[in-house]
Amino acid sequence: MRYLMKQKLFSWGDDFLIKDENGRDVFFVDGKAFSLGDQLSFQDMAGNELSFIKQKLLSWGPTYEIHRDGQLCAVVKKKLFTFFTCRFTVDVPGPDDLEAEGDFLDHEYTFTRSGARVAGVSKQWFSWTDTYGVDIAEGEDDVLIIASTVVIDLACHGDKQKQ
């Protein structure tokens, strides 16, 4: 499935609107404007929370937790000391962890599981807000991968919104 994830230009927090390949609004990410660390609610268009993203403040390097129904479902952590690439681990319970590796400019990412590609992310070069195309393989957890893409944007580009 292919999605378009676009950050809202005028908002109090880091808000994203996600459209499907037919241009229909399918998800909304509502960033909490006045919170200690990044906190975002990942919702369907009816306002039902599908997951909650929370930044861990006391950690070595950018680390975020993704919760579903009050349970921790993944920890997304940026790997430090990588040269010419950005790397993230998406640690999920069990053996199905994901790795995300991107180019030096943070414009292209590939999500893999055990070396097999499960999703690709491409950032638009010339747009007013952060805009990504997210292409997810069939049978994958779309919400987890899109939420992880939001985390990567926050970890790599989050400081510019706070200036």
Beta strand segments in the chain, E: 2-7, 16-20, 25-31, 39-44, 49-55, 63-68, 71-78, 85-91, 98-103, 108-113, 116-123, 131-136
Which positions of the chain have pLDDT values less than 70?
Answer: 9-13, 33-36, 104-106, 125-129, 157-163
Instruction: For residue range 53-65, list pLDDT tens digits in order.
Output: 999 987 778 899 9
The whole-angstrom separation of Cα 18 and Cα 83 is 31
pLDDT for the residue numbered 160:
46
Q: Quick one: CA dihedral 31, 35, 41, 46, positive or negative?
A: negative
The whole-angstrom separation of Cα 129 and Cα 111 is 23
pLDDT for the residue numbered 33:
66
Contact assessment for residue 110 and residue 120, using Cβ atoms and an 8 Å cutoff: yes
The whole-angstrom separation of Cα 67 and Cα 59 is 18
At residue 81, φ and ψ (nearest 5 deg) are 60, 45
The whole-angstrom separation of Cα 11 and Cα 7 is 9
pLDDT for the residue numbered 142:
96
The whole-angstrom separation of Cα 28 and Cα 53 is 13
- Alpha helices by DSSP H, listed for the chain, are 142-157
pLDDT for the residue numbered 128:
57
| List of domains in the chain | 2-162 (2.40.160.200)
pLDDT for the residue numbered 162:
41
